[in-house]
Every structure is written in C-alpha cells, then in structure tokens.
Amino acid sequence: MTQRITFPPSPIKLYGIIGHPLGHTMSPPLHNWGFQALGVPGEYRMFPVELSMLAAMMEQVRTLPIAGLSVTIPHKVAVMPFLDGISERAKDVGAVNTVFWDGPRLRGENTDVHGFLAPLRLLPRPPRSALVLGAGGAARAALAGLRELGVDRVTVSNRSADKAISLAKEFMVHTLPWDERARAEAELVINTTPLGMKGQRQNQSPWPESTCLSAKQIAYDMVYNPQQTPFLTEAARNGSRTIDGLSMFVHQAAEQFRLWTGQSFNLDEARKLITGLLAAG
C-alpha cells in the first residue's frame, strides 16, 4: 500500500524542498525572506523525503496542491517520471532541481545551470579549458553549463573511474584518473564533490595536498556551506582567482523563485542574508 504523507492545512501557497537528508540547506530562510520582502503570500518548508516516499510525496504535490518544489539529493533524477514534462535544459543535464506549475501541467527545470553560469559570465572571457572534479548531479550541471559557455576542452575526474567515463561519454568530454587530476591543464577547476561541505568532510579538499593551483587558474567550489572551503583557501593562498558556491546558490534560487512567483528578489540582499546565516553557524 502506498504510504500517504499529510501536512497541516495552510492558508497561503506552500512551497518546499524535497530530499534526504536536508540538514544543511539554506533554501528555507532564503525563500521565506524573499516571500516576505516582496509581499508574496507563500511559505517554504523542508520535506525530508526518502526515495521510498517519493511517489506519495508527488501525489500530495498535485492534490494539496503544493505551488513549487526545490529538488535535491537523491531525487533529481527519480522525480522526473512524476512530472508532465521537463525543459530542454533539464533534459540536457539529465536532472531536475525545480518543480513548478505551468498552467495545469507540473513541469521540471534545472536552475543549477543558470546559477553555475552566473559568476562565469562576469569573467573578462570564458575559460578555454576546465576540469570538473566529481561525477554526480552537480557535475552534470557544470558540464551542461560549460557546454553552453562554449568551453573548448573539458575533462572529468572522479574517484570512481567508471562513473567518470560514463559521464564523459554522455557529454562527449575527456576523462583523467583521480590520482592524476593535478596533471590537467585547465584554466578553470570546479569542485562538484561534497568534499569541504559542512559536517564530516568540512576539512577535506578535492585537490591533492602535494600540488597547488597557479595564479593563472580559477578555483570554483560549488559547495556553499561553509562559504570558504579548504579548496578555495588554498587556491587563494597561491594567487588563484576563486569563486565560491554561494554565488551559484543564490542565482539558482532566484531563478526558482521567478519560476514560482514571476517575481525576482534582490540578489545582493540575498547574498548578505545567507552570508550572515553562515557566519552565525
């Protein structure tokens, strides 16, 4: 029998994030701040949903209804069969991180690519080469973004060589063994792994201790909590330009908010809000 999830009735539009676990996410304070700042009658909640509960959750999205969802691990791929359609960008990535209503249709989008590209579009020119560390959902967004940006040479490196090879074949890019990742000649090095994320891996870096990025390279960490990771700290110490994950997080969330409400919140104020919350611990 399908397990049914119930929530208390809400007089305002209900939004939320589904995934498991959800302890690290800053999405609720950001979106709830956006609703308040723009006078939108909405409330954003955390819905810790395991894979076995996903079907029941998506039934509730339609019957309550829930006005919009952020989607995180482990549902970015699994949620797609429950939708009425997905965008071309989500098809390109092979994952959905946003669920929204398009009239009567429940659709999926991937705003991670939008967020990923935002700080890169501010560079004087696009990087000519890039190394993507990791082969999960975040790596997919990075690879799709690099393709949109027109980066000529892209390489993937991951602890699991099979996953790296499979992903590289799908996106038609190069691979490099994890132990040899420092050999890559890449202007842009992107961490899409959870190494450095708040918790058990907070003191870890995806870059080998025996080598350093150069001042000619850019270090981009998609981890945003903490804002300053070991990867970025070491790169900055050696003169590399750095891009923190907070830029991506705020921009992808702003695009979600726009899809749900048709309105845009102030990006600078949003960044200040999350920076303050991260500093407060």
What would the 3-class secondary structure string for 45-99 be?
A: EEEECCHHHHHHHHHHHHHCCCCEEEECCCCCCCCHHHCCEECHHHHHHCCCCEE
Mean pLDDT of 4-8: 58
pTM exceeds 0.85 for this model: yes
Mean pLDDT of 130-152: 95
H/E run at residue 231: helix 230-237
Give residue 174's pLDDT: 98
> How far is residue 179's CA from residue 189's CA, in Å, rounded to a whole number?
15
Mean pLDDT check: name the lowest of 3-7, 51-55, 59-63, 132-136: 3-7
> How far is residue 157's CA from residue 278's CA, in Å, rounded to a whole number?
29
Asked if residue 133 lies in contact with residue 167, where contact means CB atoms within 8 angstroms, the answer is no
Strands 13-19 and 188-191, by their bridges, are: unpaired
Task: Give the right CATH number for 13-110+247-280 from 3.40.50.10860, 3.40.50.12780, 3.30.565.10, 3.90.1720.10.
Answer: 3.40.50.10860
- Cβ neighbour number for residue 152 with a 10 Å cutoff: 10
pLDDT digits (tens, 9 = 90+) for 7-19: 555 568 999 999 9
Percent of the chain with pLDDT over 90: 88
What's the whole-number average pLDDT of the chain?
94
Sequence ranges of the domains in the chain: 13-110+247-280, 114-243
* pLDDT(113) > 70: yes
Percent of the chain with pLDDT over 70: 96
Question: With the CA atoms of 24, 142, 114 and 148 taken in that order, what torsion angle do they form, in degrees rounded to the nearest 10?
Answer: 180
Residue with tokens 């996106």: 171
What are the angstrom distances between the C-alpha of 94 and each of 79, 90, 186?
11, 6, 25
What type of residue sits at position 223? V
pLDDT digits (tens, 9 = 90+) for 197-256: 988 899 999 999 888 999 999 999 999 999 999 999 999 999 999 999 999 999 999 999
Task: Provide the phi-psi class of 52: left if phi over 0, else alpha when psi is between -120 and 50, else beta.
Answer: alpha
Task: Determine whether 13 is an active site residue.
Answer: no
pLDDT digits (tens, 9 = 90+) for 153-175: 999 999 999 999 999 999 999 99
CATH second-level architecture of 114-243? 3-Layer(aba) Sandwich (3.40)
Q: Same topology for domains 13-110+247-280 and 114-243, yes or no?
A: yes
Active-site position among 76, 91, 198, 272: 76
